[in-house]
Amino acid sequence: MEQFYTIQGEGFNTGKAAYFIRLGGCDIGCHWCDVKESWDAWQHPPTAVDTIVENASQHPARTVVVTGGEPLIYNLQPLTTKLKEAGFRICLETSGAYPLSGEWDWICLSPKKFKAPLPSVLHAAHELKVIVFNKSDFKWAEQHAEMVGPDCLLYLQPEWSKADEVTPMIVEYVKNHPQWMISLQTHKYLDIP
């Protein structure tokens, strides 16, 4: 759908320069989705893997973030193989609703209520990032924290349109449950892509 060089704004890799590769296509249907234009893959003509890697290589950072849409609706092995050959550290942002494909240095799993994550992706995640839209999401976050591996980092992130309301709740929650950390969409505060 689009490619751009920016700063990773959220989660464990916050603040690091990275080349973003956003794949079109998603059938998860989050009502608060901020990239609804990504949903219909047919709106976004395919780009050759070699072109994507060449474009990424034009920038100094050697980190890419593959996001969507939901990237795992595709077999990502061809893309990640070429990115690896070009020397990139490769991060994935996924809802986990589709089987894992490709080789990853970092997997950020952000589960969605509308389509449950697969156990195989839960086990492989380096980072569990739960979007908090209302109070009931804390319980839902804990349910998913029980399903990830023991070393998986746990993040709670306010849903952007509800940030004023839910951020104070997250602050209190993290103070009382310090196994969790706060993730903020810092790119939105910085007004960068």
Say how many residues touch ligand SF4, by CB under 6 A: 12
CB of 85 to ligand SF4, least distance (A): 28
Site string for ligand SF4, 23-62 (x = CB under 6 A): ---x-xxx--x-x--x------------------------
Structural contact between residues 192 and 18, judged by C-beta atoms closer than 8 angstroms: no
CB of 3 to ligand SF4, least distance (A): 16
CA distance 91 to 106: 5
CB of 46 to ligand SF4, least distance (A): 18
Structural contact between residues 152 and 128, judged by C-beta atoms closer than 8 angstroms: yes
- C-alpha closest to that of 145 among 178, 97, 102, 168: 178
Return the axis-axis angle of helices 77-85 and 49-56, rounded to nearest 10°.
Answer: 40
Binding flag, residue 116, ligand SF4 (CB under 6 A): no
- Could you list the residues that contact ligand SF4 (CB under 6 A)? 26, 28-30, 33, 35, 38, 68-70, 95, 112
